[in-house]
């Protein structure tokens, strides 16, 4: 789920200063204008029946095209890096790295936007009613086989505030953002990964 959520939020970073009439226009402006970004996040995952919730937090960075770095810091450390060719997942507790081809790892998920895919080709977009002080846009995947049912993006003014995802099993994951910086100056080495010595490397 973390890898999927990573793909989703990296694809939908903030469009600071973007002029818009509604959240759909803001989302379109982001895809066209925002080339790099970084932010802190808090993620809340809720079970389908709403009875169980889990929280985690971390930070992420991205650089178009095809590069991102997504780090969970609490309660467990996990690093996910896309270098343009492969996606690396490092689980520090398990001392394990999983590596997959970039296209295979992202598939038709929202992270395809990060790779330069067409927003309107891959998703049906519509504006939703305001809720919780945010303006929301829905992005429904056009592909028949996806890992999620729905994706909603919430904006406060022209800045991304939240992403909410419902997966194929009805599990809901919401990410709330802070310290958001669009078009940040990011070093290329942030998007490179070398497995630490002694780490088990798994390539499915």
What CATH number corresponds to the domain at position 82?
A: 2.50.20.10
Mean pLDDT, rounded, for 26-31: 81
Domain interval for residue 145 = 2-181
Residue-level pLDDT at 103: 74
Report yes or no on 173 lying in a domain: yes
Q: Is the pLDDT of residue 123 over 60?
A: yes
Report yes or no on 144 lying in a domain: yes
Report yes or no on 164 lying in a domain: yes
Residue-level pLDDT at 42: 93
Residue-level pLDDT at 178: 92
Q: Domain total for the chain?
A: 1
Report yes or no on 203 lying in a domain: no
User: Residue 32 region, left (φ>0) first, then alpha (ψ -120 to 50), else beta?
Assistant: alpha
Q: Are 203 and 100 in contact (CB under 8 A)?
A: yes
Q: Following CA atoms 151, 154, 160, 163 in sequence, which dihedral angle do they give, to the nearest 10 degrees?
A: -40
pLDDT in tens, 33-63: 888 889 899 999 999 999 889 999 999 888 8
Beta strand ranges found along the chain (DSSP E): 36-46, 53-63, 67-74, 78-83, 86-91, 96-101, 123-131, 134-141, 148-156, 159-167, 172-182, 200-202
Q: Give CA separation, 127 vs 72, 115, 150, 187, in Å.
A: 30, 24, 13, 35
pTM of the model: 0.79
Task: List the single range of 6-10, 96-100, 101-105, 145-149 with lowest mean pLDDT.
Answer: 6-10
| Strands of the 148-156 sheet, one edge to the other | 123-131, 134-141, 148-156, 159-167, 172-182, 36-46, 53-63, 67-74, 78-83, 86-91, 96-101, 200-202
Report yes or no on 31 lying in a domain: yes
Report yes or no on 186 lying in a domain: no
Token code pair at residue 89: 């997942």
CA-to-CA distance for 168 and 187, rounded, in angstroms? 36
Report yes or no on 193 lying in a domain: no
Residue-level pLDDT at 111: 56
Over the range 94-131, which residues count as b (16 or more CB within 10 Å of their CB) and which as e? eeebbbbebeebbebbbbbbbbebebeebbebebbeee
pLDDT in tens, 142-182: 777 777 788 888 888 878 888 888 888 899 989 898 998 98
pLDDT in tens, 66-99: 888 889 999 999 998 989 899 999 999 999 999 9
Helix (H) or strand (E) holding 48: none
Residue-level pLDDT at 199: 94
Q: Is the pLDDT of residue 3 over 70?
A: no
Residue-level pLDDT at 184: 94
Report yes or no on 195 lying in a domain: no
Transcribe 118-131 into DSSP letters. Answer: -HHHHEEEEEEEEE
């Amino acid at each position: 789920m973390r890898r999927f959520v990573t793909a989703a939020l990296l694809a939908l970073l903030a469009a600071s200063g973007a002029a818009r009439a509604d959240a759909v226009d803001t989302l379109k402006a982001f895809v066209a204008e925002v080339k790099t970004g970084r932010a802190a996040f808090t993620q809340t995952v809720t079970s389908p029946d709403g009875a169980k919730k889990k929280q985690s937090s971390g930070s992420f960075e991205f650089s178009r095209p095809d590069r991102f770095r997504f780090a969970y810091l609490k309660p467990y450390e996990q690093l996910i890096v896309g270098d343009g060719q492969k996606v690396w997942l490092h689980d520090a507790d398990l001392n394990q790295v999983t590596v997959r081809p970039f296209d295979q790892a992202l598939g038709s998920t929202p992270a395809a936007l990060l790779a330069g895919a067409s927003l309107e080709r891959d998703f049906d977009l519509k504006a939703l009613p305001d809720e919780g002080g945010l303006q929301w846009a829905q992005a429904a995947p056009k592909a028949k086989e996806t890992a999620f049912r729905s994706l909603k993006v919430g904006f406060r003014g022209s800045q991304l505030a939240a992403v909410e995802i419902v997966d194929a099993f009805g599990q809901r994951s919401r990410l709330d953002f802070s310290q958001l910086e669009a078009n940040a100056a990011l070093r290329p080495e942030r998007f490179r990964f070398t497995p630490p010595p002694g780490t088990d490397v798994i390539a499915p």
